Structure 1
């Protein structure tokens, strides 16, 4: 293990852009990134990750590497990638069900603004890598991107919400997260889309990984799982208002509070399957927190895992995330495959990192753009999933608006319309 203090330097977005240019010039695999709040740091950047398709059962599992880390204030390296939502196979864009790769080296930005070089090997920091951190930002380091979005089918989403309400009235489910999907065509650089996104919106659990198969740019605010040693936490989000609204309305909303509490109980049940008896607690219930473009109700569930529970068993118990499924979980997942017009793909799965030093941290892959393969001559396909939890008090029109509110922070990366708002009911041209 080696650590070197590099000092102050560029922002995560600036350093990521330079790492991308450096990798492209060298014909090396692209960088990967975690930004916001990961492993006690403001950013963890991997200079190169050869992210390839992998069996879903192998995602985030460090077989033969080490036991889960104890949450040390270093990361060093590890496996970084994603695991898609498991129900139905998407076709557009058709990304692997899981993909990622190993890195021996990361650049970590602490919350005091200092960059560190960390490696699981004894190799010293290459001069070019240190320069990418310290180099003054250059406007020429930016690359263009463009996305032409087509919004979801409003009627299809309303139909799914109504079917969910019928199932709730019949006692089949108590709550379910009904989702829909923006589709689009992209050109340019997904990496620079992600860099622009984290600069503009500063999401708490953003992540980027790319390979020959395409790219995943997750601007997520939500923690799925953080495992450090035998301690695990999850912070489900349920309950949403536009950022311009009075956040006190969330705690006063019967619908939003009920939605959050039901999912907290579901997370408690999921973690209880692998936790020490009596160790599952709720240290934070119904906190109101800002996220890009919205206010959210956020709770936190914590537990101590039983001896011998590895990451694979933890994921078997908790994946897919409770907040994007429903109660009861298995029945809700069955219904959602009928109620939703599109497979979810990576959306509602998870993106993150497993480090033998620092542990495992995973987001919920919401506010996430999936980029299928493209080239200079042919635009690639892309997708952006959005959705919301349906309870007996839900109104289909309000649920549709919540989907638009959640997509707005990503659509707003494009130039504004004359009204000052990104268009929502027609094709959206998003460019930089």
Structure 2
């Protein structure tokens, strides 16, 4: 198999490109596009022209699918070409066996993508059999499609229903009691907001890409529903043998450019710093299970970064995968992400199953792409809508420690949900 790259004559924005490709897919009766926007594979967007995603219910199979990659010759540095677009839902490893309305995982092979590079140029990239001619007519047709993109299709949503604050207080208090009893150091406790949705989920994603500018946005859809993610968090980036994770733990609201004092307060918060350090250590241990001895390090600790509506504390852990380790083994060692479970992870998973009243679905899983030439990148599926048969759901939560205050934890959920609820109108 070979890689073909052609620079496109267009300066269309990602959100307008998504609108055009959505119309194209419907006209040609293709599966809808899939998209990664923000900061993926050192690019600003990677969009599959059409992605037919198949549900996967077995955890071992879900981890194995992205390892099934062909050999590609003539690879160009920076290119993506295609690969497996998909998601791994938290449901895959929920000890309670609960499941949401969407499949626990889904993957789809894509051999054609549009990529917006860091310099603002669009590329058509394709993975082709060695004896196939270059699809020049397809490139020309795409340039015509992108030359006059339509307005996005309509969508609407009512206000989201929330659990009572007192219900969340009770769960947080029960978690604090478990921490005080020495069962664990930290757990991530979440709530689920739900509502009605009508219209085109791809248009919701395009509008969110334009307004929120999240670093790890992702869109996937199929007959089973849609996943619309505006995540700020990187779960895994594996390029060659080098792997990196950037866990987020610690949050304060961010309303405008003049509230830098909140960023400083976050960095000085004993509770938030403790949260982040504990999870960074957990991620370091997870990667240590599959990385070469001595290669795991923390090049960045407790960096304050902006995200839609909030400030976050994040750290970076990186390592070099041991000889013979593939992505299935990497995922088995690290999934679900430590930042949305707790420490120790196994007890946190069990406690979450005991305390949270509903399953999480896709939320707090991972979404992304495995490419035969660019590697693997997955976000943490937070700030993520799940859409299914006229309903929309949004999970929100935060890390609980011995110092947690129930009201403050509820307010953190609201700070995180606010930009997405404003997007819904």
Q: 1:27 aligns with which of 26, 29, 38?
A: 29
Name the structure 1 match of 2:381.
365
Q: For the Cα contact (< 8 Å) 1:70–1:228, is it kept in 2? A: no
Name the structure 2 match of 1:61.
66
Tell me the secondary structure at the aligned position of residue 247 of structure 1: helix
Identify if the C-alpha distance between structure 1 residues 337 and 71 changes in structure 2 by more than 3 Å, giving closer, same or farther: farther
Matched, 1:129 2:142: yes
Q: For the Cα contact (< 8 Å) 1:2–1:124, is it kept in 2? A: no
Name the structure 2 match of 1:301.
317
Name the structure 2 match of 1:73.
78
Tell me the secondary structure at the aligned position of residue 149 of structure 1: coil
Tell me the secondary structure at the aligned position of residue 123 of structure 2: strand
Matched, 1:279 2:295: yes
1:27 shift after superposition: 1.1
Tell me the secondary structure at the aligned position of residue 348 of structure 2: helix
Q: For the Cα contact (< 8 Å) 1:70–1:229, is it kept in 2? A: no
Name the structure 1 match of 2:354.
338
Name the structure 2 match of 1:425.
none
The unaligned stretches of length 5 or more in structure 2 are none
TM-score normalised by L of structure 2: 0.92
Q: Deviations over 1:332-357 (max 9, x none)?
A: 11011111111111000000000001
1:89 shift after superposition: 4.8
CA distance in 2, matches of 1:270, 1:71: 32
Q: CA RMSD in A?
A: 1.7
Identify if the C-alpha distance between structure 1 residues 70 and 120 changes in structure 2 by more than 3 Å, giving closer, same or farther: closer
Name the structure 1 match of 2:125.
118
The unaligned stretches of length 5 or more in structure 1 are 375-379, 415-429
Matched, 1:216 2:227: yes
Q: For the Cα contact (< 8 Å) 2:157–2:195, is it kept in 1? A: no
CA distance in 1, matches of 2:66, 2:76: 17
Tell me the secondary structure at the aligned position of residue 412 of structure 1: helix
Q: For the Cα contact (< 8 Å) 1:95–1:213, is it kept in 2? A: yes
Matched, 1:233 2:244: yes
Q: For the Cα contact (< 8 Å) 2:384–2:395, is it kept in 1? A: yes
Tell me the secondary structure at the aligned position of residue 238 of structure 2: strand
Equivalent residue runs for 1:121-270 within 5 Å: 121=128, 123-125=134-136, 126=138, 127-133=140-146, 135-139=147-151, 141-244=152-255, 245=259, 246-270=262-286
TM-score normalised by L of structure 1: 0.90
Matched, 1:37 2:50: no
Q: Higher mean Cα deviation, 39-48 or 120-129?
A: 120-129
Report how many residues are paired: 405
Matched, 1:388 2:398: yes
